[in-house]
Structure 1
Amino acid sequence: MFFYDKDIELGRVDDNTLRKVLSYGDGLMNTLVVFEKGLAPDSVIPYHKHVHVQTTYVLKGSFKFSIKYPDHTDTNEVHVGDTIYFPSNLEHGCIPLEDDSRLIDSFNPIREDFL
Protein backbone atom coordinates (compact mmCIF):
# COMPACT_ATOMS: atom_id res chain seq x y z
CA MET A 1 0.00 0.00 0.00
CA PHE A 2 1.29 3.49 -0.84
CA PHE A 3 0.78 6.67 1.22
CA TYR A 4 1.46 9.92 -0.62
CA ASP A 5 2.45 13.03 1.30
CA LYS A 6 0.23 15.25 -0.86
CA ASP A 7 -2.81 13.26 0.30
CA ILE A 8 -2.07 13.40 4.05
CA GLU A 9 -2.80 16.48 6.13
CA LEU A 10 -1.17 17.64 9.35
CA GLY A 11 -3.65 17.63 12.20
CA ARG A 12 -3.42 19.82 15.28
CA VAL A 13 -2.70 17.93 18.52
CA ASP A 14 -2.43 20.99 20.81
CA ASP A 15 -1.41 24.66 20.71
CA ASN A 16 2.18 23.78 19.77
CA THR A 17 2.00 20.37 18.10
CA LEU A 18 0.95 18.99 14.71
CA ARG A 19 0.82 15.32 13.69
CA LYS A 20 0.55 13.45 10.40
CA VAL A 21 0.00 9.68 10.15
CA LEU A 22 2.48 8.73 7.43
CA SER A 23 1.71 5.04 6.95
CA TYR A 24 0.21 2.11 8.83
CA GLY A 25 -0.91 -1.46 8.52
CA ASP A 26 -0.40 -4.97 9.89
CA GLY A 27 0.63 -3.81 13.37
CA LEU A 28 3.00 -0.94 12.51
CA MET A 29 2.39 2.82 12.24
CA ASN A 30 4.68 5.75 11.39
CA THR A 31 3.84 9.35 12.23
CA LEU A 32 5.44 12.76 11.79
CA VAL A 33 5.21 15.10 14.79
CA VAL A 34 5.99 18.81 14.34
CA PHE A 35 6.54 21.17 17.28
CA GLU A 36 6.05 24.77 16.15
CA LYS A 37 7.88 26.45 19.05
CA GLY A 38 10.80 25.33 21.19
CA LEU A 39 10.23 25.40 24.95
CA ALA A 40 12.48 26.23 27.88
CA PRO A 41 14.65 23.22 28.85
CA ASP A 42 13.34 23.45 32.43
CA SER A 43 9.68 23.24 31.33
CA VAL A 44 7.53 20.48 32.79
CA ILE A 45 7.64 17.36 30.64
CA PRO A 46 4.08 16.32 29.68
CA TYR A 47 4.23 12.64 30.62
CA HIS A 48 1.93 10.07 29.06
CA LYS A 49 1.90 6.30 28.51
CA HIS A 50 0.27 3.79 26.19
CA VAL A 51 0.28 0.06 25.55
CA HIS A 52 2.13 0.57 22.26
CA VAL A 53 5.84 -0.03 21.91
CA GLN A 54 7.32 3.12 20.36
CA THR A 55 10.52 4.17 18.63
CA THR A 56 11.30 7.80 17.88
CA TYR A 57 13.75 9.26 15.35
CA VAL A 58 14.79 12.93 15.66
CA LEU A 59 14.32 14.30 12.15
CA LYS A 60 14.96 17.99 12.92
CA GLY A 61 15.87 20.05 15.98
CA SER A 62 16.60 18.82 19.48
CA PHE A 63 14.57 17.58 22.45
CA LYS A 64 14.77 16.77 26.13
CA PHE A 65 13.19 13.31 26.60
CA SER A 66 12.37 11.47 29.80
CA ILE A 67 11.28 7.89 30.43
CA LYS A 68 10.02 6.89 33.90
CA TYR A 69 11.23 3.37 34.68
CA PRO A 70 9.98 1.59 37.83
CA ASP A 71 13.18 2.38 39.74
CA HIS A 72 14.43 5.61 38.10
CA THR A 73 13.75 8.32 35.52
CA ASP A 74 16.08 8.55 32.52
CA THR A 75 16.32 12.07 31.02
CA ASN A 76 18.52 12.93 28.05
CA GLU A 77 18.88 15.55 25.34
CA VAL A 78 18.67 14.16 21.81
CA HIS A 79 19.52 15.69 18.44
CA VAL A 80 19.07 15.05 14.71
CA GLY A 81 19.70 11.39 13.90
CA ASP A 82 19.25 10.13 17.47
CA THR A 83 16.66 7.46 18.24
CA ILE A 84 14.78 6.41 21.37
CA TYR A 85 13.00 3.17 22.31
CA PHE A 86 9.94 3.35 24.61
CA PRO A 87 8.75 0.09 26.17
CA SER A 88 5.03 -0.47 26.55
CA ASN A 89 3.22 1.26 29.44
CA LEU A 90 6.13 3.38 30.72
CA GLU A 91 5.48 7.09 31.22
CA HIS A 92 7.49 9.30 28.89
CA GLY A 93 7.48 12.82 27.53
CA CYS A 94 9.54 15.38 25.67
CA ILE A 95 10.25 19.08 25.42
CA PRO A 96 11.20 20.51 22.01
CA LEU A 97 14.25 22.76 22.44
CA GLU A 98 14.10 24.45 19.01
CA ASP A 99 11.34 25.90 16.84
CA ASP A 100 10.06 23.57 14.09
CA SER A 101 11.54 20.46 15.71
CA ARG A 102 10.31 17.21 14.14
CA LEU A 103 10.08 13.57 15.12
CA ILE A 104 9.21 10.36 13.31
CA ASP A 105 7.36 8.09 15.74
CA SER A 106 6.72 4.39 15.04
CA PHE A 107 4.20 2.33 17.00
CA ASN A 108 3.37 -1.33 17.41
CA PRO A 109 0.49 -2.07 17.35
CA ILE A 110 -0.94 0.83 15.34
CA ARG A 111 -2.46 3.73 17.25
CA GLU A 112 -6.16 3.37 16.39
CA ASP A 113 -6.74 6.63 18.27
CA PHE A 114 -4.66 8.47 15.63
CA LEU A 115 -6.81 7.32 12.69
Structure 2
Amino acid sequence: MFFKDSEIKLGRVDDNTLRKVVAHGDGLMDTLVIFERGLKPDATIPFHKHVHVQTTYVLKGSFKFAIKYSDHTDVQEVHVGDSIYFPSNHEHGCIPLEDDSRLLDSFTPIREDFL
Protein backbone atom coordinates (compact mmCIF):
# COMPACT_ATOMS: atom_id res chain seq x y z
CA MET A 1 0.00 0.00 0.00
CA PHE A 2 1.29 3.49 -0.88
CA PHE A 3 0.65 6.70 1.06
CA LYS A 4 1.29 9.88 -0.97
CA ASP A 5 2.13 12.93 1.14
CA SER A 6 0.08 15.19 -1.16
CA GLU A 7 -3.01 13.07 -0.45
CA ILE A 8 -2.69 12.93 3.36
CA LYS A 9 -4.46 15.56 5.44
CA LEU A 10 -2.68 17.42 8.22
CA GLY A 11 -5.00 17.81 11.21
CA ARG A 12 -4.86 20.13 14.19
CA VAL A 13 -4.49 18.40 17.59
CA ASP A 14 -4.37 21.59 19.70
CA ASP A 15 -3.31 25.23 19.35
CA ASN A 16 0.37 24.23 18.96
CA THR A 17 0.27 20.75 17.42
CA LEU A 18 -0.48 19.30 13.99
CA ARG A 19 -0.59 15.59 13.09
CA LYS A 20 -0.92 13.42 10.03
CA VAL A 21 -1.14 9.66 9.77
CA VAL A 22 1.55 8.90 7.19
CA ALA A 23 1.12 5.11 6.93
CA HIS A 24 -0.85 2.28 8.55
CA GLY A 25 -1.76 -1.36 8.10
CA ASP A 26 -1.60 -4.80 9.75
CA GLY A 27 -1.38 -3.43 13.28
CA LEU A 28 1.27 -0.74 12.72
CA MET A 29 0.83 3.03 12.30
CA ASP A 30 3.24 5.93 11.67
CA THR A 31 2.31 9.54 12.35
CA LEU A 32 4.10 12.83 11.77
CA VAL A 33 3.66 15.31 14.64
CA ILE A 34 4.57 18.97 14.14
CA PHE A 35 4.87 21.44 17.01
CA GLU A 36 4.58 25.02 15.74
CA ARG A 37 6.16 26.76 18.74
CA GLY A 38 8.83 25.73 21.18
CA LEU A 39 8.17 26.09 24.91
CA LYS A 40 10.38 27.01 27.85
CA PRO A 41 12.25 24.01 29.32
CA ASP A 42 10.46 24.52 32.66
CA ALA A 43 6.98 24.27 31.08
CA THR A 44 4.73 21.56 32.51
CA ILE A 45 4.84 18.31 30.56
CA PRO A 46 1.31 17.08 29.78
CA PHE A 47 1.07 13.33 30.49
CA HIS A 48 -1.15 10.75 28.80
CA LYS A 49 -1.19 6.98 28.37
CA HIS A 50 -2.66 4.41 26.00
CA VAL A 51 -2.62 0.66 25.45
CA HIS A 52 -0.51 1.07 22.32
CA VAL A 53 3.22 0.43 22.35
CA GLN A 54 4.90 3.50 20.87
CA THR A 55 8.26 4.48 19.49
CA THR A 56 9.21 8.05 18.67
CA TYR A 57 12.00 9.34 16.43
CA VAL A 58 13.06 13.00 16.53
CA LEU A 59 13.08 14.35 12.97
CA LYS A 60 13.64 18.04 13.71
CA GLY A 61 14.24 20.22 16.76
CA SER A 62 14.55 19.12 20.36
CA PHE A 63 12.18 18.00 23.12
CA LYS A 64 11.95 17.36 26.83
CA PHE A 65 10.35 13.92 27.26
CA ALA A 66 9.16 12.14 30.39
CA ILE A 67 8.07 8.54 31.04
CA LYS A 68 6.53 7.52 34.36
CA TYR A 69 7.50 4.12 35.76
CA SER A 70 6.19 2.55 38.97
CA ASP A 71 9.16 3.75 41.02
CA HIS A 72 10.38 6.88 39.17
CA THR A 73 9.88 9.31 36.31
CA ASP A 74 12.59 9.40 33.65
CA VAL A 75 12.99 12.90 32.12
CA GLN A 76 15.44 13.55 29.30
CA GLU A 77 16.12 16.06 26.58
CA VAL A 78 16.26 14.52 23.10
CA HIS A 79 17.49 15.88 19.77
CA VAL A 80 17.46 15.05 16.06
CA GLY A 81 18.21 11.35 15.52
CA ASP A 82 17.27 10.30 19.06
CA SER A 83 14.46 7.82 19.64
CA ILE A 84 12.29 6.69 22.55
CA TYR A 85 10.35 3.52 23.40
CA PHE A 86 7.11 3.80 25.39
CA PRO A 87 5.69 0.60 26.92
CA SER A 88 1.95 0.05 26.88
CA ASN A 89 -0.03 1.91 29.56
CA HIS A 90 2.91 4.01 30.84
CA GLU A 91 2.20 7.70 31.32
CA HIS A 92 4.41 9.85 29.12
CA GLY A 93 4.58 13.24 27.48
CA CYS A 94 6.80 15.90 25.98
CA ILE A 95 7.27 19.57 25.34
CA PRO A 96 8.95 20.95 22.22
CA LEU A 97 11.94 23.18 22.92
CA GLU A 98 12.21 24.73 19.43
CA ASP A 99 9.77 26.11 16.88
CA ASP A 100 8.73 23.70 14.10
CA SER A 101 9.97 20.62 15.98
CA ARG A 102 8.87 17.30 14.44
CA LEU A 103 8.44 13.72 15.56
CA LEU A 104 7.73 10.45 13.80
CA ASP A 105 5.56 8.34 16.12
CA SER A 106 4.91 4.64 15.49
CA PHE A 107 2.16 2.68 17.24
CA THR A 108 1.10 -0.91 17.54
CA PRO A 109 -1.72 -1.70 17.38
CA ILE A 110 -3.07 1.04 15.11
CA ARG A 111 -4.51 4.12 16.83
CA GLU A 112 -8.06 3.87 15.50
CA ASP A 113 -8.79 7.20 17.22
CA PHE A 114 -6.34 8.88 14.80
CA LEU A 115 -8.09 7.66 11.63
Normalised by the length of structure 1, the TM-score is 1.00
Structure 2: gaps of 5 or more residues: none
Structure 1: gaps of 5 or more residues: none
Structure 2 residue matching 1:22: 3-state secondary structure? strand
Structure 2 residue matching 1:113: 3-state secondary structure? helix
RMSD between aligned alpha carbons? Answer: 0.3
Alignment of 1:47 with 2:47, yes or no, is yes
Identity between Structure 1 and Structure 2 (%): 81
**Equivalent position of 1:9 in the other structure:** 9
**Equivalent position of 1:74 in the other structure:** 74
TM alignment of 1:51-70, pairs within 5 A: 51-70=51-70
Q: Which runs of 4+ in 1 moved over 4 A?
A: none
Give, in whole Å, the separation in 2 of the partners of 1:35 and 1:9: 16
Give, in whole Å, the separation in 1 of the partners of 2:68 and 2:45: 11
Normalised by the length of structure 2, the TM-score is 1.00
**Equivalent position of 1:95 in the other structure:** 95
Alpha-carbon offset, residue 78 of structure 1? 0.1
Aligned residues: 115
Give, in whole Å, the separation in 1 of the partners of 2:99 and 2:10: 17
Alpha-carbon offset, residue 58 of structure 1? 0.1
Cα deviation per residue 1:71-109 (whole Å; 9 max; x = unaligned)? 000000000000000000000000000000000000000
Give, in whole Å, the separation in 1 of the partners of 2:70 and 2:25: 31
Alpha-carbon offset, residue 4 of structure 1? 0.3
Structure 1 residue matching 2:6: 3-state secondary structure? helix
Give, in whole Å, the separation in 2 of the partners of 1:87 and 1:55: 9
**Equivalent position of 1:84 in the other structure:** 84
